[in-house]
């Protein structure tokens, strides 16, 4: 274990000594200076909204918006169609996350008689 640590330290010190040698005569090598804005991009977090929607069994389906959507929870209360057509089927709860690009809406569909 100690031999491995010493070998590692020797390798690191060799790299530092090679890297610290001066090549003053060679002026053709230049290092590009990166500003903070060039090396890091910071993105703002998405806004998040919740919306409770109360539906009745037998009510016609309604379309809701969103680029993409994911069903987070469903006890069979709603049928979610491929184009985000929501049709209430039986009493219960269905929770859907809809992505709108710059923000996300969490739809909570409460179905009752």
Tens digit of each residue's pLDDT (9 = 90 or more) over 74-91: 998 999 888 888 999 999
Q: How far apart are CA 16 and CA 58, in angstroms?
A: 75
Burial label, 92 (beta-carbon count in 10 A; 0-12, 13-18, 19+): middle
Structural domains in the chain, CATH included, are 47-112 (2.60.40)
What residue has token string 């003053």? 24
- The per-residue pLDDT for 33 is 59
Q: What is the pLDDT of residue 38?
A: 55
pLDDT of residue 30: 60
Task: Name the helix (H) or strand (E) containing 16.
Answer: helix 2-19
Cα–Cα distances in angstroms (integers) from residue 76 to residues 20, 68, 69, 92, in the given order: 68, 20, 17, 7
Mean pLDDT calculated for residue range 25-30: 57
pLDDT band at residue 34, thresholds of 50, 70 and 90? low
pLDDT digit string, tens, across residues 42-72: 565 578 889 999 999 989 888 888 788 889 9
- Position 39 scores a pLDDT of 55
Q: Is 30 strand, coil or helix? A: coil
* Contact indicator for 83, 67 with CB cutoff of 8 Å: no
Indicate the pLDDT class of residue 16, thresholds 50, 70 and 90: low
Check residue 109 and give its pLDDT: 93
pLDDT at 93: 95
């Amino acid at each position: 274990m100690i031999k491995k640590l010493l070998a590692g330290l020797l390798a690191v010190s060799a790299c530092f000594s090679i890297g610290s040698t001066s090549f003053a005569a060679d002026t053709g090598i230049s290092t590009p200076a990166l500003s903070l804005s060039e090396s890091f991009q910071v993105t703002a977090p998405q806004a998040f909204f919740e919306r409770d929607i109360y539906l009745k069994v037998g009510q016609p389906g309604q379309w809701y918006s969103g680029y993409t959507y994911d069903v987070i929870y469903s006890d069979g209360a709603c049928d979610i169609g491929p184009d985000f057509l929501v049709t209430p089927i039986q009493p219960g709860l269905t929770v859907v996350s809809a992505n709108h690009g710059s923000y996300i809406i969490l739809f909570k569909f409460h179905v009752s008689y």
